[in-house]
Amino acid sequence: MSIRSDVYVNELAVVEQGARVGAGSSVWRHSHIRPEGVVGRDCMIGKNVYVDNGAVLGDRVTVQNNVSVYEGVTLEDDVFVGPSAVFTNDRYPRSRNRDWVLVPTFVRSGASVCANATVVCGVEIGSYAVVAAAAVVTKDVLAHEIVAGNPARRMGWACRCGRVASRGADVPSVEPICDECSE
């Protein structure tokens, strides 16, 4: 397969014919992008990442090592996915299931899914939300919400810059001001 000159694909990676990889993106060793997988511009696809048919990654997405982005998962622009995070697309998994139904998952712009987190299919993670390391997300996460634990629950609110703007499970009565960027 011919790869565009403005895309880096490691010699040990597989980008199948028909896959779309945007300008400025990098695909590192042992990664695999299926024919109907979409990777936007200026993305970084780490080592041993699988992008399935029907998976969509927006622009400037970072997917670190050992992550599988399955069919039905959409990562919008500027999403960060930490090492060994897990996405699912089947609510009732069985080895052979003729009645299998794809259940889509959306991670909105600017959100972060940290290392070893599990995102169960059918949820939406809001813009600039933060899913803490090893969290298990079983329900929607609001924009700017920080969640942690198993099952994941609210721990606070994140600024666009990624820092904690407010701690605690309560919704703040006024918008918090970030100590780091003053936004």
Q: What is the pLDDT of residues 58-100, one digit of tens each?
A: 999 999 999 999 999 999 999 999 999 999 999 999 888 888 8
Domains of the chain (ranges, CATH numbers): 8-167 (2.160.10.10)
Count of other CB atoms within 10 angstroms of residue 20: 15
Whether the model clears a pTM of 0.85, i.e. scores above it, the answer is yes
Percentage with pLDDT > 90 across the chain: 79
Residue type for position 65: N
Buried b (16+ CB within 10 A) or exposed e, 36-50: bbbbbbbbbbbbbbb
pLDDT for 100-144, tens place per residue? Answer: 899 999 999 999 999 999 999 999 999 999 999 999 999 999 999
pLDDT for 143-175, tens place per residue? Answer: 999 999 999 999 999 989 888 888 876 666 667
Are 160 and 128 contacting, i.e. CB atoms less than 8 angstroms apart?
Answer: yes
